[in-house]
Amino acid sequence: MTTDNRLEALREAVAAALADVEGVIALRRTPYGDVAPYLFTDSTEVANLVLEPRYPVPDTLQVIQMAHPEARLGIVLRGCEERGLVETAKHNQVNLNNVRAIGLNCTAEDAEFCRCARPYVGVWVTESVGERVEGVGDARVEAFLALPQEDRLSFWQGVFSHCIKCYACRNICPQCFCEHCALEQDIWVEQGVIPPPFPSFHAVRALHTLGKCVGCRECELACPAEIPLTTLYSLLRRDVQAMFGYETGMDLEATPPFLARLEV
Amino acid sequence: MVSETFEPRIVGFLCNWCSYGGADAAGTARLKYPPNLRIVRVMCSGRVSQELVLRAFREGADGVLVLGCHIGDCHYQDGNHRTSKRMPILRNLLGYLGVHPDRLRLEWVSSAESTRFRDVVTEFTQTVRALGPSELRRVREREVVA
């Protein structure tokens, strides 16, 4: 199925959903030609709905719900965004009870580009547009693991040395919602140093994605220095699954490991 | 220039209720253990955040030892439950960053286990001594020179 088919099907699905909800959050091409998240409330507007470029719309859901907690909203979600919302919901940032989600399954090219293992919805979203394609493995993670142990430090030093500390990775991250960010505290990350002190900045950020990061790759796409951030986060996500049996974003009920007691 | 004998700097975060008591008991009993350990008393091993451990490494520690109450004995019910999850994953992160994971160790030591305290510290000091100066310490020294 081509992108165009998906787009038409999605516009129809959004227009149909508008009969049920007060508004649907999706990407819209503005009259000025750029693309931004938008709350579609009228079915005549859906002609401006677009799929690209990608932007994490779950943040918009959070913002609207803060102002209107009772509103019944719709939202268009990719597979990664759906799984990310599972985690934000567990951390009480959004309420999914009153949300009608329209899934948008990614194409094989998207999956290839994102090195995505699960480019489709289906954890809690039942309605979806586009054919489900199989996921792909992450060759970068495998390539990293093939590095000898003594080369790892210089590998990260090399890529982190390009960091200009713009905080784009944190700002775009749908899972970063703390009001007081540890990355801005001198005690954990010395301030006023560029590139940020190795490895504090990136290690602290990696630790704060634990049990929350679903690997949506927004940080990596936003990074102007092209740091392979998700290689580190994917490794840790894999470890969280191996150690605690917790697959991030895949279960609405399971308690995140770092919020749960041990079972003794 | 390489010194003939490398003496590791080890930071120990000891929980007030169990492990610090254990260390105290070891002192009272005149048990001998290596002097490389710099002890920081914390109210609970659950207070030892991963950032704190990273900071210790960043400041030049060659090893970090976190000691807490045995599971089930925590003064705050489940503080050590949190530590028991944080430290293993932090070890993995250190490994990915190129720092030997064995530089971080989490052990449970009760206030009655003075000999266990001695054994853990002795053994950990030997481990870190064998590993040599911390990989991050070398990075830091280069940064200061630059």
Closest by CA to A233, choosing from B143, B119, B97, is B97
Fold of B10-145: Rossmann fold (3.40.50)
**Distance in angstroms (rounded) separating the CA atoms of residues A97 and B40:** 46
Residues of chain B in contact with residue A151, where contact means CB-CB under 8 angstroms, are 98
- The shortest C-alpha distance from A78 to chain B (Å) reads 29
Give percent of chain A with pLDDT exceeding 70: 98
**Distance in angstroms (rounded) separating the CA atoms of residues A138 and A140:** 5
CB neighbour burial string for A68-98, b if at least 16 within 10 angstroms, e if fewer: eeeeebbbbbbbbbbbbbbbbbbeebbebee
Q: Is A55 exposed, middle or buried (0-12, 13-18, 19+ CB in 10 A)?
A: middle
Residues of chain A in contact with residue B134, where contact means CB-CB under 8 angstroms, are none
**Distance in angstroms (rounded) separating the CA atoms of residues A233 and A70:** 34
Residue A164 pLDDT level (bands cut at 50, 70, 90): very high
Is pLDDT of B3 > 60?
no
B106–A contact, CB cutoff 8 A: no
Q: What is the pLDDT, as a whole number, of residue A260?
A: 78
* Contact flag B98-A182 (C-beta cutoff 8 Å): no
A142, A145, A151, A153, best to mutate vs chain B, most B CBs in 10 Å: A153
- Among chain B residues, the shortest Cα distance to A195 is held by B143
- The shortest C-alpha distance from A59 to chain B (Å) reads 27
Q: Which residue type does B109 have?
A: V
**Distance in angstroms (rounded) separating the CA atoms of residues B142 and B135:** 11
Mean pLDDT across chain A: 91
A200 closest CB neighbour out of B54, B92, B96: B54
Q: Model ipTM?
A: 0.88
B51 closest CB neighbour out of A150, A204, A243: A204
Residue A163, CB-side half-sphere exposure with 13 Å CA sphere: 27
Residues of chain A in contact with residue B68, where contact means CB-CB under 8 angstroms, are none
Q: What is the pLDDT, as a whole number, of residue A53?
A: 87
What's the pTM?
0.90
Cβ-Cβ pairs closer than 8 A, A with B, add up to: 81
- Among chain A residues, the shortest Cα distance to B78 is held by A261
A240, A261, A263, best to mutate vs chain B, most B CBs in 10 Å: A261
Residues of chain B in contact with residue A243, where contact means CB-CB under 8 angstroms, are 85, 88-89
Which of A50-59, A188-197, A241-250, B133-142 has the weakest average pLDDT? B133-142
Q: What is the pLDDT, as a whole number, of residue A1?
A: 47
Residues of chain B in contact with residue A187, where contact means CB-CB under 8 angstroms, are 51, 55
Q: What is the pLDDT, as a whole number, of residue B138?
A: 75
Residues in chain B: 146
B72–A contact, CB cutoff 8 A: yes
Closest by CA to A50, choosing from A78, A29, A25, A34, is A29
* Contact flag B78-A258 (C-beta cutoff 8 Å): no
Is pLDDT of B145 > 80?
no
* Contact flag A199-B90 (C-beta cutoff 8 Å): no
Per residue in A8-28, pLDDT (tens digit) is: 999 999 999 999 999 999 999
**Distance in angstroms (rounded) separating the CA atoms of residues A97 and A124:** 11
Residues of chain A in contact with residue B135, where contact means CB-CB under 8 angstroms, are 153
> Cis omega before residue A53 (within 30°)?
yes
Which residue ranges make up each domain of chain A? Answer: 3-129, 139-259
**Distance in angstroms (rounded) separating the CA atoms of residues B66 and B80:** 10
Per residue in A205-250, pLDDT (tens digit) is: 999 999 999 999 999 999 999 999 999 999 999 999 999 999 999 9
- Among chain A residues, the shortest Cα distance to B77 is held by A261
Q: What is the pLDDT, as a whole number, of residue A140?
A: 92
- The shortest C-alpha distance from A236 to chain B (Å) reads 7
Strand A35-40 and strand A23-29: the pairing is antiparallel
CB neighbour burial string for B72-89, b if at least 16 within 10 angstroms, e if fewer: eebebebbbbbbbbbbeb
Is pLDDT of B1 > 60?
no
Mean pLDDT of B76-87: 92
Mean pLDDT of B102-106: 97
B71 closest CB neighbour out of A156, A182, A262: A262
Q: Is B119 exposed, middle or buried (0-12, 13-18, 19+ CB in 10 A)?
A: middle
- Contact in structure between A140 and A229 (CB atoms under 8 Å): no
Is pLDDT of B50 > 50?
yes
Q: What is the pLDDT, as a whole number, of residue A74?
A: 95
**Distance in angstroms (rounded) separating the CA atoms of residues A101 and A104:** 9
Q: What is the pLDDT, as a whole number, of residue B144?
A: 64
Residue A60 pLDDT level (bands cut at 50, 70, 90): very high
Is pLDDT of A3 > 60?
no
- Contact in structure between A118 and A124 (CB atoms under 8 Å): no
Give percent of chain A with pLDDT exceeding 90: 81
The residues pairing with A23 across neighbouring beta strands, listed in sequence order, are A73
